[in-house]
Protein backbone atom coordinates (compact mmCIF):
# COMPACT_ATOMS: atom_id res chain seq x y z
CA UNK A 1 0.00 0.00 0.00
CA UNK A 2 2.80 2.45 0.87
CA UNK A 3 4.56 1.80 -2.44
CA UNK A 4 1.35 2.37 -4.39
CA UNK A 5 0.70 5.64 -2.55
CA UNK A 6 4.24 6.76 -3.33
CA UNK A 7 3.78 5.83 -6.99
CA UNK A 8 0.60 7.92 -7.17
CA UNK A 9 2.11 10.85 -5.31
CA UNK A 10 5.24 10.86 -7.48
CA UNK A 11 3.35 10.36 -10.73
CA UNK A 12 5.03 6.99 -11.32
CA UNK A 13 1.77 5.67 -12.71
CA UNK A 14 0.29 5.12 -16.17
CA UNK A 15 -3.30 5.74 -17.21
CA UNK A 16 -5.14 3.85 -19.91
CA UNK A 17 -8.58 4.86 -21.18
CA UNK A 18 -10.50 2.74 -23.68
CA UNK A 19 -13.71 3.71 -25.43
CA UNK A 20 -15.65 0.49 -25.88
CA UNK A 21 -19.03 0.12 -27.54
CA UNK A 22 -20.99 0.24 -24.30
CA UNK A 23 -18.47 1.39 -21.69
CA UNK A 24 -15.63 3.82 -21.37
CA UNK A 25 -13.12 2.40 -18.91
CA UNK A 26 -10.13 4.06 -17.26
CA UNK A 27 -7.42 2.00 -15.53
CA UNK A 28 -4.48 3.35 -13.51
CA UNK A 29 -1.46 1.08 -13.13
CA UNK A 30 1.48 1.43 -10.75
CA UNK A 31 5.20 1.10 -11.38
CA UNK A 32 4.83 -2.69 -11.35
CA UNK A 33 2.16 -2.66 -14.09
CA UNK A 34 -0.63 -3.71 -11.72
CA UNK A 35 -4.05 -2.03 -11.85
CA UNK A 36 -4.51 0.06 -8.71
CA UNK A 37 -7.67 2.01 -9.54
CA UNK A 38 -10.35 2.16 -12.20
CA UNK A 39 -13.35 4.15 -13.31
CA UNK A 40 -15.98 3.75 -15.97
CA UNK A 41 -18.92 5.31 -17.75
CA UNK A 42 -21.74 3.49 -19.52
CA UNK A 43 -22.80 4.79 -22.91
CA UNK A 44 -24.63 3.57 -26.00
CA UNK A 45 -24.42 4.36 -29.69
CA UNK A 46 -27.53 5.80 -31.30
CA UNK A 47 -29.07 5.00 -34.69
CA UNK A 48 -29.75 8.44 -36.21
CA UNK A 49 -30.89 8.77 -39.82
CA UNK A 50 -29.70 5.23 -40.46
CA UNK A 51 -26.20 5.88 -39.02
CA UNK A 52 -24.79 4.35 -35.85
CA UNK A 53 -23.09 7.23 -34.04
CA UNK A 54 -21.95 8.86 -30.80
CA UNK A 55 -22.09 12.65 -30.48
CA UNK A 56 -19.06 14.74 -29.55
CA UNK A 57 -20.89 15.68 -26.38
CA UNK A 58 -21.28 11.96 -25.54
CA UNK A 59 -17.55 11.45 -26.10
CA UNK A 60 -16.40 14.22 -23.76
CA UNK A 61 -19.05 13.62 -21.12
CA UNK A 62 -18.05 9.97 -21.09
CA UNK A 63 -14.32 10.63 -20.89
CA UNK A 64 -14.61 13.15 -18.09
CA UNK A 65 -17.05 10.95 -16.16
CA UNK A 66 -14.81 7.88 -16.44
CA UNK A 67 -11.79 9.91 -15.29
CA UNK A 68 -13.76 11.44 -12.41
CA UNK A 69 -14.82 7.94 -11.38
CA UNK A 70 -11.15 6.85 -11.45
CA UNK A 71 -10.10 9.81 -9.29
CA UNK A 72 -12.79 8.93 -6.75
CA UNK A 73 -11.52 5.35 -6.66
CA UNK A 74 -7.96 6.57 -5.99
CA UNK A 75 -9.19 8.84 -3.19
CA UNK A 76 -11.32 6.08 -1.65
CA UNK A 77 -8.55 3.47 -1.68
CA UNK A 78 -5.45 5.53 -0.92
CA UNK A 79 -6.63 8.89 0.48
CA UNK A 80 -4.32 10.83 -1.84
CA UNK A 81 -5.26 13.11 -4.73
CA UNK A 82 -4.45 12.13 -8.31
CA UNK A 83 -2.53 15.11 -9.69
CA UNK A 84 0.39 13.78 -11.71
CA UNK A 85 0.39 10.94 -14.23
CA UNK A 86 3.64 9.89 -15.88
CA UNK A 87 2.22 8.25 -19.00
CA UNK A 88 -1.23 8.20 -20.63
CA UNK A 89 -2.72 6.22 -23.50
CA UNK A 90 -6.08 6.30 -25.27
CA UNK A 91 -7.66 3.52 -27.25
CA UNK A 92 -11.07 3.01 -28.80
CA UNK A 93 -13.18 1.03 -31.20
CA UNK A 94 -11.28 0.82 -34.47
CA UNK A 95 -12.29 1.96 -37.94
CA UNK A 96 -15.19 4.32 -38.60
CA UNK A 97 -15.20 7.83 -39.99
CA UNK A 98 -14.41 11.12 -38.25
CA UNK A 99 -13.66 13.93 -40.70
CA UNK A 100 -12.83 17.57 -39.97
CA UNK A 101 -12.39 20.73 -42.02
CA UNK A 102 -9.43 23.13 -41.84
CA UNK A 103 -11.04 24.89 -38.86
CA UNK A 104 -11.31 21.57 -36.95
CA UNK A 105 -15.09 21.34 -37.31
CA UNK A 106 -16.61 17.86 -37.51
CA UNK A 107 -18.14 17.70 -40.99
CA UNK A 108 -20.61 14.82 -40.50
CA UNK A 109 -21.66 12.86 -37.40
CA UNK A 110 -19.14 10.20 -36.36
CA UNK A 111 -19.82 6.99 -38.33
CA UNK A 112 -18.80 4.03 -36.19
CA UNK A 113 -17.48 0.61 -37.17
CA UNK A 114 -21.00 -0.74 -36.74
CA UNK A 115 -22.29 0.84 -39.95
CA UNK A 116 -22.60 -1.54 -42.91
CA UNK A 117 -23.30 1.17 -45.49
CA UNK A 118 -20.15 1.03 -47.59
CA UNK A 119 -20.63 -2.16 -49.56
CA UNK A 120 -19.92 -0.72 -53.01
CA UNK A 121 -16.80 1.10 -51.85
CA UNK A 122 -15.45 -1.90 -49.96
CA UNK A 123 -15.96 -4.15 -53.00
CA UNK A 124 -14.30 -1.75 -55.45
CA UNK A 125 -11.32 -1.08 -53.21
CA UNK A 126 -10.81 -4.76 -52.40
CA UNK A 127 -10.66 -5.46 -56.14
CA UNK A 128 -8.40 -2.47 -56.79
CA UNK A 129 -5.84 -3.50 -54.15
CA UNK A 130 -6.41 -7.27 -54.29
CA UNK A 131 -6.55 -6.84 -50.53
CA UNK A 132 -9.64 -7.16 -48.33
CA UNK A 133 -11.12 -3.77 -47.40
CA UNK A 134 -14.01 -4.38 -44.97
CA UNK A 135 -17.04 -2.11 -44.90
CA UNK A 136 -16.16 -0.66 -41.51
CA UNK A 137 -12.67 0.57 -42.52
CA UNK A 138 -12.16 4.33 -42.70
CA UNK A 139 -11.04 4.27 -46.33
CA UNK A 140 -14.27 2.45 -47.30
CA UNK A 141 -16.30 5.16 -45.55
CA UNK A 142 -14.35 7.90 -47.31
CA UNK A 143 -14.67 6.35 -50.76
CA UNK A 144 -18.38 5.59 -50.24
CA UNK A 145 -18.94 9.25 -49.34
CA UNK A 146 -17.24 10.12 -52.63
CA UNK A 147 -19.40 7.67 -54.57
CA UNK A 148 -22.47 9.15 -52.89
CA UNK A 149 -21.30 12.65 -53.91
CA UNK A 150 -21.58 13.90 -50.34
CA UNK A 151 -20.97 17.64 -50.32
CA UNK A 152 -18.55 17.62 -47.39
CA UNK A 153 -15.86 15.49 -49.06
CA UNK A 154 -13.91 18.29 -50.84
CA UNK A 155 -13.67 20.19 -47.54
CA UNK A 156 -12.02 17.38 -45.57
CA UNK A 157 -8.73 18.39 -43.96
CA UNK A 158 -8.31 15.50 -41.51
CA UNK A 159 -9.60 11.92 -41.23
CA UNK A 160 -9.07 9.94 -38.05
CA UNK A 161 -10.49 7.36 -35.65
CA UNK A 162 -12.10 7.92 -32.27
CA UNK A 163 -8.84 7.21 -30.41
CA UNK A 164 -6.96 9.49 -32.80
CA UNK A 165 -9.51 12.27 -32.21
CA UNK A 166 -9.23 12.13 -28.42
CA UNK A 167 -5.43 12.09 -28.60
CA UNK A 168 -5.37 15.04 -31.03
CA UNK A 169 -7.63 17.13 -28.80
CA UNK A 170 -5.51 16.53 -25.69
CA UNK A 171 -2.05 16.87 -27.25
CA UNK A 172 -2.45 18.74 -30.53
CA UNK A 173 -0.77 15.81 -32.34
CA UNK A 174 -2.41 14.24 -35.41
CA UNK A 175 -0.92 10.76 -34.99
CA UNK A 176 -2.10 7.18 -34.65
CA UNK A 177 -0.67 3.88 -33.49
CA UNK A 178 0.11 1.52 -36.34
CA UNK A 179 -2.47 -1.03 -35.18
CA UNK A 180 -5.31 1.50 -35.25
CA UNK A 181 -3.99 2.99 -38.50
CA UNK A 182 -4.14 -0.48 -40.09
CA UNK A 183 -7.93 -0.33 -39.72
CA UNK A 184 -8.04 2.94 -41.62
CA UNK A 185 -5.89 2.01 -44.62
CA UNK A 186 -3.62 -0.99 -45.33
CA UNK A 187 -0.18 -0.92 -43.70
CA UNK A 188 3.08 -2.15 -45.22
CA UNK A 189 4.65 -4.19 -42.40
CA UNK A 190 8.09 -3.70 -43.96
CA UNK A 191 7.93 0.11 -43.64
CA UNK A 192 5.49 0.41 -40.73
CA UNK A 193 3.56 3.02 -42.72
CA UNK A 194 0.61 3.17 -45.10
CA UNK A 195 1.06 0.97 -48.15
CA UNK A 196 2.49 3.32 -50.78
CA UNK A 197 1.47 1.13 -53.72
CA UNK A 198 -2.14 1.23 -52.55
CA UNK A 199 -1.97 5.00 -51.92
CA UNK A 200 -0.84 5.43 -55.54
CA UNK A 201 -3.60 3.17 -56.85
CA UNK A 202 -6.21 5.10 -54.87
CA UNK A 203 -4.86 8.45 -56.08
CA UNK A 204 -5.15 7.30 -59.67
CA UNK A 205 -8.66 5.96 -59.13
CA UNK A 206 -9.98 9.29 -57.79
CA UNK A 207 -8.13 11.61 -60.21
CA UNK A 208 -11.35 12.63 -61.91
CA UNK A 209 -12.77 14.03 -58.66
CA UNK A 210 -10.06 16.71 -58.67
CA UNK A 211 -10.12 17.17 -54.88
CA UNK A 212 -7.77 19.73 -53.25
CA UNK A 213 -6.23 16.98 -51.09
CA UNK A 214 -4.39 13.69 -51.37
CA UNK A 215 -5.27 10.78 -49.10
CA UNK A 216 -1.87 10.87 -47.37
CA UNK A 217 -2.57 14.52 -46.47
CA UNK A 218 -5.75 13.51 -44.64
CA UNK A 219 -4.45 10.53 -42.65
CA UNK A 220 -2.77 10.64 -39.22
CA UNK A 221 0.98 10.08 -38.98
CA UNK A 222 1.71 6.43 -38.13
CA UNK A 223 3.69 5.63 -34.96
CA UNK A 224 4.82 2.33 -33.44
CA UNK A 225 4.46 1.21 -29.81
CA UNK A 226 7.05 2.75 -27.50
CA UNK A 227 7.33 6.00 -29.43
CA UNK A 228 6.48 9.32 -27.78
CA UNK A 229 3.28 10.60 -29.39
CA UNK A 230 3.02 13.96 -27.64
CA UNK A 231 2.42 15.44 -24.20
CA UNK A 232 -0.71 16.47 -22.36
CA UNK A 233 -1.22 20.20 -22.93
CA UNK A 234 -2.56 22.62 -20.31
CA UNK A 235 -5.81 22.79 -22.26
CA UNK A 236 -5.86 19.00 -22.60
CA UNK A 237 -5.37 18.50 -18.86
CA UNK A 238 -8.33 20.76 -18.09
CA UNK A 239 -10.44 18.98 -20.67
CA UNK A 240 -9.67 15.55 -19.20
CA UNK A 241 -10.00 16.76 -15.60
CA UNK A 242 -12.20 19.89 -15.45
CA UNK A 243 -11.53 20.17 -11.69
CA UNK A 244 -8.04 21.45 -12.54
CA UNK A 245 -6.25 18.92 -10.31
CA UNK A 246 -4.40 17.13 -13.13
CA UNK A 247 -1.04 18.59 -14.11
CA UNK A 248 -0.07 18.99 -17.78
CA UNK A 249 3.04 17.37 -19.24
CA UNK A 250 2.15 13.67 -19.11
CA UNK A 251 3.75 11.67 -21.93
CA UNK A 252 1.29 10.05 -24.31
CA UNK A 253 1.86 6.83 -26.24
CA UNK A 254 0.44 6.38 -29.74
CA UNK A 255 -3.37 6.05 -29.59
CA UNK A 256 -4.41 2.51 -30.44
CA UNK A 257 -7.43 0.50 -31.45
CA UNK A 258 -9.20 -2.03 -29.27
CA UNK A 259 -7.74 -4.89 -31.30
CA UNK A 260 -4.18 -3.86 -30.43
CA UNK A 261 -4.93 -3.33 -26.76
CA UNK A 262 -6.58 -6.74 -26.65
CA UNK A 263 -3.38 -8.30 -28.00
CA UNK A 264 -1.33 -6.53 -25.34
CA UNK A 265 -3.71 -7.37 -22.50
CA UNK A 266 -3.53 -11.06 -23.39
CA UNK A 267 0.20 -11.20 -24.21
CA UNK A 268 -0.64 -12.14 -27.79
CA UNK A 269 1.75 -10.07 -29.91
CA UNK A 270 4.14 -12.90 -30.82
CA UNK A 271 3.80 -14.87 -34.06
CA UNK A 272 1.46 -17.92 -33.89
CA UNK A 273 -0.36 -16.49 -30.88
CA UNK A 274 -3.90 -15.21 -30.90
CA UNK A 275 -6.65 -13.77 -28.81
CA UNK A 276 -10.41 -13.51 -28.94
CA UNK A 277 -12.00 -10.31 -27.68
CA UNK A 278 -15.69 -10.66 -26.91
CA UNK A 279 -17.98 -7.74 -26.14
CA UNK A 280 -20.61 -6.00 -28.24
CA UNK A 281 -18.62 -7.31 -31.20
CA UNK A 282 -16.26 -10.29 -31.25
CA UNK A 283 -13.00 -10.70 -33.07
CA UNK A 284 -10.06 -13.07 -33.20
CA UNK A 285 -6.55 -11.77 -33.83
CA UNK A 286 -3.93 -14.25 -35.04
CA UNK A 287 -0.35 -12.97 -35.51
CA UNK A 288 0.89 -14.34 -38.82
CA UNK A 289 4.20 -15.99 -39.68
CA UNK A 290 3.68 -15.35 -43.38
CA UNK A 291 1.22 -13.68 -45.72
CA UNK A 292 -2.05 -15.43 -46.57
CA UNK A 293 -2.13 -17.26 -49.89
CA UNK A 294 -5.09 -15.31 -51.22
CA UNK A 295 -7.67 -12.65 -50.44
CA UNK A 296 -10.55 -13.71 -48.21
CA UNK A 297 -13.46 -11.28 -47.76
CA UNK A 298 -14.03 -12.75 -44.29
CA UNK A 299 -10.46 -12.03 -43.11
CA UNK A 300 -9.00 -8.57 -42.41
CA UNK A 301 -5.26 -7.98 -42.34
CA UNK A 302 -4.28 -5.49 -39.65
CA UNK A 303 -1.19 -5.22 -37.44
CA UNK A 304 0.07 -5.52 -33.91
CA UNK A 305 1.04 -2.27 -32.12
CA UNK A 306 4.56 -2.74 -33.54
CA UNK A 307 3.40 -3.37 -37.10
CA UNK A 308 3.50 -7.18 -37.51
CA UNK A 309 0.74 -8.57 -39.75
CA UNK A 310 -2.32 -10.00 -38.05
CA UNK A 311 -5.26 -11.93 -39.48
CA UNK A 312 -8.43 -10.55 -37.96
CA UNK A 313 -11.78 -12.34 -38.03
CA UNK A 314 -14.36 -9.77 -36.97
CA UNK A 315 -18.06 -10.25 -36.30
CA UNK A 316 -20.22 -7.23 -35.51
CA UNK A 317 -22.48 -9.02 -33.05
CA UNK A 318 -21.69 -10.89 -29.86
CA UNK A 319 -23.14 -10.04 -26.45
CA UNK A 320 -25.94 -7.55 -27.16
CA UNK A 321 -28.67 -10.17 -27.51
CA UNK A 322 -27.39 -12.12 -24.50
CA UNK A 323 -27.63 -8.93 -22.44
CA UNK A 324 -31.18 -8.32 -23.68
CA UNK A 325 -32.33 -11.79 -22.63
CA UNK A 326 -30.65 -11.48 -19.23
CA UNK A 327 -32.47 -8.18 -18.65
CA UNK A 328 -35.75 -9.87 -19.53
CA UNK A 329 -35.09 -12.61 -16.96
CA UNK A 330 -34.24 -9.89 -14.44
CA UNK A 331 -37.52 -8.14 -15.19
CA UNK A 332 -39.43 -11.39 -14.73
CA UNK A 333 -37.73 -11.99 -11.38
CA UNK A 334 -38.73 -8.49 -10.30
CA UNK A 335 -42.35 -9.12 -11.29
CA UNK A 336 -42.22 -12.22 -9.07
CA UNK A 337 -41.09 -10.04 -6.18
CA UNK A 338 -37.60 -11.58 -6.23
CA UNK A 339 -35.26 -8.98 -7.79
CA UNK A 340 -31.92 -10.42 -8.90
CA UNK A 341 -28.70 -8.40 -9.20
CA UNK A 342 -26.68 -8.38 -12.40
CA UNK A 343 -23.68 -9.89 -10.60
CA UNK A 344 -25.83 -12.86 -9.58
CA UNK A 345 -27.99 -13.48 -12.65
CA UNK A 346 -25.20 -13.65 -15.25
CA UNK A 347 -23.31 -16.52 -13.54
CA UNK A 348 -26.64 -18.21 -12.81
CA UNK A 349 -27.74 -18.23 -16.45
CA UNK A 350 -24.28 -18.88 -17.88
CA UNK A 351 -23.75 -21.91 -15.67
CA UNK A 352 -27.18 -23.18 -16.70
CA UNK A 353 -25.85 -23.29 -20.28
CA UNK A 354 -23.38 -26.01 -19.25
CA UNK A 355 -26.20 -28.41 -18.45
CA UNK A 356 -27.93 -27.84 -21.77
CA UNK A 357 -27.90 -30.30 -24.66
CA UNK A 358 -24.63 -30.16 -26.58
CA UNK A 359 -26.49 -29.11 -29.75
CA UNK A 360 -28.75 -26.70 -27.79
CA UNK A 361 -31.76 -28.97 -28.23
CA UNK A 362 -32.52 -27.69 -31.71
CA UNK A 363 -32.80 -24.03 -30.66
CA UNK A 364 -31.16 -21.47 -32.94
CA UNK A 365 -30.39 -17.90 -31.92
CA UNK A 366 -29.15 -15.10 -34.19
CA UNK A 367 -28.13 -12.15 -32.05
CA UNK A 368 -27.76 -9.88 -35.08
CA UNK A 369 -28.31 -6.30 -33.94
CA UNK A 370 -26.46 -5.14 -37.04
CA UNK A 371 -25.38 -6.69 -40.33
CA UNK A 372 -22.65 -9.32 -40.69
CA UNK A 373 -20.40 -9.37 -43.75
CA UNK A 374 -19.07 -12.88 -43.00
CA UNK A 375 -22.56 -14.36 -43.36
CA UNK A 376 -23.79 -11.81 -45.94
CA UNK A 377 -26.45 -10.33 -43.66
CA UNK A 378 -26.97 -6.67 -44.51
CA UNK A 379 -28.95 -5.47 -41.47
CA UNK A 380 -29.64 -6.50 -37.91
CA UNK A 381 -32.67 -8.59 -36.94
CA UNK A 382 -32.29 -10.59 -33.68
CA UNK A 383 -34.08 -13.88 -34.30
CA UNK A 384 -34.85 -16.96 -32.20
CA UNK A 385 -35.87 -20.09 -34.14
CA UNK A 386 -37.08 -23.50 -32.97
CA UNK A 387 -39.20 -26.35 -34.22
CA UNK A 388 -42.09 -27.91 -32.29
CA UNK A 389 -39.70 -30.75 -31.43
CA UNK A 390 -36.96 -28.50 -30.02
CA UNK A 391 -36.19 -28.98 -26.34
CA UNK A 392 -37.03 -25.47 -25.18
CA UNK A 393 -35.72 -24.78 -21.69
CA UNK A 394 -33.50 -22.20 -20.00
CA UNK A 395 -30.31 -24.27 -20.30
CA UNK A 396 -30.69 -24.86 -24.03
CA UNK A 397 -31.77 -21.27 -24.61
CA UNK A 398 -28.69 -19.84 -22.87
CA UNK A 399 -26.35 -22.33 -24.52
CA UNK A 400 -27.79 -21.35 -27.90
CA UNK A 401 -27.26 -17.65 -27.19
CA UNK A 402 -23.62 -18.18 -26.17
CA UNK A 403 -22.82 -20.51 -29.08
CA UNK A 404 -24.53 -18.07 -31.43
CA UNK A 405 -22.22 -15.32 -30.13
CA UNK A 406 -19.27 -17.47 -31.28
CA UNK A 407 -20.71 -18.95 -34.49
CA UNK A 408 -19.98 -16.17 -36.99
CA UNK A 409 -16.43 -16.00 -35.65
CA UNK A 410 -16.11 -19.77 -36.02
CA UNK A 411 -17.11 -19.56 -39.71
CA UNK A 412 -14.26 -17.10 -40.30
CA UNK A 413 -11.79 -19.15 -38.29
CA UNK A 414 -12.54 -22.21 -40.43
CA UNK A 415 -11.08 -20.31 -43.39
CA UNK A 416 -7.84 -19.50 -41.56
CA UNK A 417 -7.25 -22.99 -40.25
CA UNK A 418 -8.71 -25.20 -43.01
CA UNK A 419 -8.00 -23.12 -46.14
CA UNK A 420 -4.83 -21.29 -45.16
CA UNK A 421 -3.29 -23.88 -42.83
CA UNK A 422 -2.50 -21.28 -40.16
CA UNK A 423 -0.90 -22.78 -37.05
CA UNK A 424 -1.98 -21.28 -33.73
CA UNK A 425 0.03 -22.12 -30.61
CA UNK A 426 -2.24 -20.38 -28.11
CA UNK A 427 -5.52 -18.45 -27.95
CA UNK A 428 -6.35 -16.13 -25.05
CA UNK A 429 -9.91 -15.05 -24.37
CA UNK A 430 -10.88 -11.74 -22.81
CA UNK A 431 -14.02 -9.70 -22.35
CA UNK A 432 -17.15 -9.90 -20.23
CA UNK A 433 -18.39 -13.16 -21.73
CA UNK A 434 -15.44 -14.94 -20.01
CA UNK A 435 -16.10 -13.57 -16.52
CA UNK A 436 -18.12 -16.60 -15.43
CA UNK A 437 -15.42 -19.28 -14.97
CA UNK A 438 -15.28 -22.09 -17.55
CA UNK A 439 -18.52 -21.30 -19.41
CA UNK A 440 -17.63 -18.89 -22.22
CA UNK A 441 -14.09 -20.25 -22.25
CA UNK A 442 -15.13 -23.87 -22.70
CA UNK A 443 -17.80 -23.13 -25.31
CA UNK A 444 -15.39 -20.97 -27.32
CA UNK A 445 -12.86 -23.82 -27.25
CA UNK A 446 -15.50 -26.04 -28.87
CA UNK A 447 -16.44 -23.33 -31.39
CA UNK A 448 -12.89 -22.80 -32.69
CA UNK A 449 -11.62 -26.34 -31.98
CA UNK A 450 -8.66 -25.05 -29.99
CA UNK A 451 -7.57 -24.81 -26.37
CA UNK A 452 -8.59 -21.43 -24.95
CA UNK A 453 -6.79 -19.77 -22.06
CA UNK A 454 -7.92 -17.00 -19.76
CA UNK A 455 -5.60 -14.96 -17.57
CA UNK A 456 -6.41 -13.77 -14.08
CA UNK A 457 -6.14 -10.24 -15.50
CA UNK A 458 -8.57 -10.89 -18.38
CA UNK A 459 -11.31 -8.81 -16.78
CA UNK A 460 -9.16 -5.67 -17.01
CA UNK A 461 -9.41 -5.71 -20.80
CA UNK A 462 -8.28 -3.12 -23.27
CA UNK A 463 -8.03 -0.22 -20.81
CA UNK A 464 -5.28 -2.14 -19.05
CA UNK A 465 -3.75 -2.95 -22.44
CA UNK A 466 -3.43 0.72 -23.42
CA UNK A 467 -2.11 1.54 -19.92
CA UNK A 468 0.61 -1.05 -20.55
CA UNK A 469 1.42 0.53 -23.92
CA UNK A 470 1.77 3.86 -22.12
CA UNK A 471 4.04 2.25 -19.51
CA UNK A 472 6.07 0.55 -22.26
CA UNK A 473 7.51 3.94 -23.23
CA UNK A 474 9.83 3.49 -20.20
CA UNK A 475 11.10 0.12 -21.51
CA UNK A 476 11.99 0.75 -25.14
CA UNK A 477 15.36 -0.98 -24.73
CA UNK A 478 13.23 -4.16 -24.94
CA UNK A 479 10.92 -5.39 -27.66
CA UNK A 480 7.21 -5.21 -26.84
CA UNK A 481 7.11 -9.01 -26.85
CA UNK A 482 9.92 -9.21 -24.26
CA UNK A 483 8.39 -6.44 -22.14
CA UNK A 484 5.13 -8.37 -21.93
CA UNK A 485 6.80 -11.76 -21.37
CA UNK A 486 9.45 -10.70 -18.86
CA UNK A 487 8.02 -7.64 -17.13
CA UNK A 488 4.23 -7.85 -17.19
CA UNK A 489 3.19 -11.51 -17.46
CA UNK A 490 6.13 -13.38 -15.96
CA UNK A 491 4.13 -14.53 -12.92
CA UNK A 492 0.59 -14.37 -14.30
CA UNK A 493 -1.64 -17.38 -13.74
CA UNK A 494 -3.15 -18.78 -16.94
CA UNK A 495 -6.06 -21.22 -16.95
CA UNK A 496 -6.57 -23.31 -20.09
CA UNK A 497 -9.55 -25.39 -21.20
CA UNK A 498 -9.33 -28.02 -23.94
CA UNK A 499 -12.45 -28.69 -26.01
CA UNK A 500 -14.14 -32.00 -25.19
CA UNK A 501 -15.21 -34.48 -27.88
CA UNK A 502 -18.82 -34.09 -26.79
CA UNK A 503 -18.74 -30.28 -26.98
CA UNK A 504 -16.99 -30.39 -30.36
CA UNK A 505 -19.62 -32.77 -31.78
CA UNK A 506 -22.44 -30.70 -30.32
CA UNK A 507 -21.10 -27.44 -31.74
CA UNK A 508 -20.54 -29.03 -35.14
CA UNK A 509 -24.21 -30.03 -35.27
CA UNK A 510 -25.28 -26.60 -33.98
CA UNK A 511 -23.16 -24.78 -36.58
CA UNK A 512 -24.52 -26.94 -39.41
CA UNK A 513 -28.05 -25.95 -38.41
CA UNK A 514 -26.92 -22.36 -37.82
CA UNK A 515 -25.69 -22.08 -41.42
CA UNK A 516 -28.94 -23.54 -42.76
CA UNK A 517 -30.96 -21.17 -40.60
CA UNK A 518 -29.24 -18.09 -42.04
CA UNK A 519 -31.97 -18.20 -44.70
CA UNK A 520 -34.45 -17.37 -41.92
CA UNK A 521 -32.27 -14.46 -40.80
CA UNK A 522 -32.09 -13.13 -44.37
CA UNK A 523 -35.85 -13.44 -44.72
CA UNK A 524 -36.28 -11.42 -41.53
CA UNK A 525 -34.11 -8.65 -42.97
CA UNK A 526 -36.06 -8.67 -46.23
CA UNK A 527 -39.53 -8.73 -44.69
CA UNK A 528 -39.38 -7.05 -41.27
* Distance in angstroms (rounded) separating the CA atoms of residues 128 and 185: 13
Contact 355, 93 (CB under 8 A): no
3-state secondary structure of 49: coil
| Nearest residue to 502 via CA among 414, 399, 431 | 399
8 to 80, 174, 243: CA distances (angstroms):
8, 29, 18
Our CA angle for 310, 191, 259, nearest 5°, is 30
What 3-state class would DSSP assign to 18?
A: strand
Q: Which residues pair with 455 in a beta bridge?
A: 494
| Alpha carbon separation from 522 to 325, 358, 404 (Å, rounded) | 22, 26, 16
Q: What's CA 54's distance to the chain center, in Å?
A: 16
Instruction: Report the Cα 457 to chain-centroid distance in Å.
Output: 17
- pTM of the predicted structure, to 2 decimals: 0.83
Residue 460: its pLDDT value, please? 64
Domains and CATH numbers, the chain: 267-456+493-527 (3.30.420.40)
Question: What's the pLDDT tens digit per position in 337-385?
Answer: 999 999 999 999 999 999 999 999 999 999 999 999 899 999 999 999 9
Query: Could you tell me which residues are beta bridge partners of residue 301?
Result: 311
| Cβ atoms 263, 305 nearer than 8 A | yes
pLDDT, position 432: 83
Would you state the pLDDT for residue 424?
Answer: 87
How far is C-alpha 249 from the geometric centre of its chain's CA atoms? 28
Listed as ranges, residues in the chain with pLDDT below 50 are none
d(C-alpha 418, C-alpha 108), whole Å: 42
Amino acid sequence: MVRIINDITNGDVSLGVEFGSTRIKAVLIDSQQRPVASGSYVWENKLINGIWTYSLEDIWTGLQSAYRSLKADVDRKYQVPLKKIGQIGFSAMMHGYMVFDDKDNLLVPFRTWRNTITGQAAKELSELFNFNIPERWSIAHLYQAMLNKEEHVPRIAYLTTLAGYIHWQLTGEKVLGVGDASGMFPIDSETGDYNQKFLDLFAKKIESYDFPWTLKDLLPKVLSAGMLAGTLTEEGAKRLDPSGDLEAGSKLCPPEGDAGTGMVATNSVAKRTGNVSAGTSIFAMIVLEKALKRLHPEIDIVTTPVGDSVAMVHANNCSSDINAWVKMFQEFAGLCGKPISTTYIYPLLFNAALSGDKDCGGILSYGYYSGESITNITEGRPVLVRTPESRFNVSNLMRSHILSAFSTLAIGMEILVDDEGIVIDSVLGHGGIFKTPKVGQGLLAAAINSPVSVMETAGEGGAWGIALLADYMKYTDQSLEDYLDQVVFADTEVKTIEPTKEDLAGFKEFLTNYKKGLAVEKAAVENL
